[in-house]
Chain A
Amino acid sequence: MPELSYREAVRDALATAMRKDDDVFIMGEDIAEMGGSMGVTQGMLDEFGKERVRNTPISEIAIVGAGIGAAMQGMRPVVEVMYEDFLTVSMEQIVNQAAKHRYMSGGQLKVPLTIRTQGGAGWSPGAQHAQQVEAWFVHVPGLKVVFASTPTDVRGLLWSAIYDDNPVIFFEHRTLYGLKEDVPDDVEPIAIGESRVHREGSDVTVVATGRLVHEALKAAEEAESEGVSVEVWDPRTLQPLDVDGLVASVKKTNRVVVAHEAITRMGFGAEIAAVVQEQAFDWLDAPIERVGAKFAPLPFAPVMEEYVVPHAADVLEAIKRTVARG
């Protein structure tokens, strides 16, 4: 069982796929010689050459659009959008084109494109380099959305995203790139749409994604010492959502906290809350709590950034509110 960082795990999935399959290639800004702004594609130019590891101009529309075109011809391109904030530049191609070709053609076309991107607060990246925008894409029929939180998960899920015949928006988190853990020797695909319980518990289910999975686990430890048993449930795939897994957990614990780094308002947590109350209303013993960023662009000054973004303490407070008395 080798130990891989999250970053290395991403690379491992990409490289393994490219070794196995000529149809897989990658393109994005600064991914070749530089190895990517986050160092994910280090060494890949040397191994695969510049035809398959393609540096692009700063043209998110063309990067995504060319990916769409190649995918429609049966290749499996993995394009990188350096910061998920820049998905906005290519929104038209993602939403109007990639997501809809299959449908508009009455099923004649597939777009097996994977768009890798990353984001997140920490160390003052500022308002335009730190957003968490996964909620926008969950709202678009035709797209799949994945957000893994550990090295094992990110490797197994990226593999499945590459081999999924639908366009997948694959979110990574910048503060997780250095996270290390023992992973299986070989890439073990994890099915898209399969959730994971990181920690079992019986008093409250914390639904967490990305960085907040780890914050939730910290909060769970703390809560345990105060006699509250917390289950940390990670959907891993946001679209399609493992509703059965979610409902099973809620029926077991009767209390829910949803935690994500994205802004709370209209975030993915709102969808989770709606689904839970639709499917498990009579099992709820407390209102559903949401933990997320405050409704503000991300400030620059560290003390303000810290304030806006959610942490383990916020998750713990929410946990406590669900079991509060009096």
Chain B
Amino acid sequence: MASEIKLPRLGQGMESGTIVKWLKSEGERVEKGEPLYELDTDKVTQEVEADASGVLLQIAIQEGEVPVGRTIAVIGEEGEEVPTSMNGGEEPPPGSAESDVQTVEAPSQAPAREPEREQVRAAPAETEVSVQSDGGRVKASPLARRIARERGIDLSSVAGTGPEGRIVAEDVERAEVGAAPAPVAAPVPAGEVERRELTSVRKTIARRLTEAWQIPVFQLQTSVDMTRANALVERLREGGTKATVTDVLTKVCADALMRHREVNAQWTDDAILLFPTANIGIAVAAPQGLVVPVIHGAERLRLAEIAAARADVVGRARDGKLAREDLEDGTFTISNLGMFRVEQFTAVLNPPQAAIVAVGATEEKPVAVDGEVVVRPMLTLTATFDHRAVDGAPAANFLQTAKELLEEPGLML
């Protein structure tokens, strides 16, 4: 019996993904567990494994954005009929078997939490879910404040059920467990306004981004010929290393940062700190929102090691199993929207880091080389710098180096 391969929900909050590339062709034999295709979600590319063995009978969606739950391929035995239902059918997304109730630090919840969650979800719907504040001041009991402080929960994201909307301890506990989650992408009847309740992490993200936006920045942009870089990835893959373009970028940036230490920096009120090692953060869409796990000391790692580290930490991010250390001490961030066919964009700084690079899609473009027009896979890098800590020249030099290394990875040897 042929099995339909559907786009999986790889983490809570994931509603869609972009198929970048199929790693198997139609008609090819696939074993369960083998990487089947490359998927980009938000800012990270990852490989998705086949969950059945057989022959890849059909690739229903070659590339592009696909909602979670959509059939994208069929695996079966040679000669089997491909079910017609998959053509155009949209399955309701898998139930939220996983963590509606996860935080980045907490491990996956055991099933026993289910009944609690139901209760918890019921309550906010009945009460006034709004944060009461007094001219900007959040009303919360001392106990609630302490719990929030100890657990790193932002009170402005907690709904208060005490008198006059005061946040009490129970409200904070509930918020940590997971306030009313954004509803799963059930079909919205036409004409109704859909309401996505703000999670505490979303509020935290919003706050931090607002802070970051106030820093005086400038951007530099460059186009990179990815011919060599792509070839390197290809070769590594053939050799068994599951490397991606992101891994190459990581290595390149780490190297460039070591050559241009002024960019591997942080602004503080009384000094600019320059770091001796490149801890590269990879922006990832984790179940509860954007997180930036860090690959520490990337300049010292071989590409294969970077690939392994990246796969591990991104995987854990998706599962909500990141530890504190995974998120600490980042000195630079890579944000990749290439899987969404975004050509170019500007990323917001990830404070307190002084620089971030935004990676667009790699597209075949006509370029001039030695006076002739040729088609090359071109990638646009846009880097944003904290002007308080980094000036134009060092920033430009850094970006130049990155381009050079990407265009000729051998230079890193």
Contact = CB atoms under 8 A, between A and B. Distances in A.
Interface of A: 254, 281-286, 321, 324-326
A2 to B, nearest CB: 45
Contacts of A283: 142-143, 146
28 contacts: A254-B143, A254-B169, A281-B142, A282-B142, A282-B143, A282-B145, A282-B146, A283-B143, A283-B146, A284-B142, A284-B143, A285-B142, A285-B143, A285-B168, A285-B169, A286-B141, A286-B162, A321-B163, A324-B162, A324-B163, A325-B127, A325-B161, A325-B162, A326-B127, A326-B128, A326-B161, A326-B162, A326-B163
A325 B126 CA distance: 12
A282 B172 CA distance: 14
A325 B143 contact: no
Interface residues of B, number: 13
Given A283-B146, A285-B141, A325-B162, 5 more contacts: A254-B143, A282-B145, A284-B141, A324-B163, A325-B161
B144 interface: yes
A286 B168 contact: yes
> Which of A281, A284, A285, A321 has the most B CB atoms < 10 Å from its CB?
A285
Interface in B293-310: none
B131 to A, nearest CB: 14
A254 B173 CA distance: 15
Nearest to B126: A326
Nearest to B145: A282
Contacts of B142: 281-285
A326 B145 CA distance: 18
Interface in B117-148: 127-128, 141-146
A323 to B, nearest CB: 9
Nearest to A254: B143
Nearest to B163: A324
Contacts of A286: 141, 162, 168
Nearest to A283: B143
Contacts of B162: 286, 324-326
A166 to B, nearest CB: 36
A281 B127 CA distance: 28
A325 B170 CA distance: 11
Nearest to B144: A285
B93 to A, nearest CB: 34
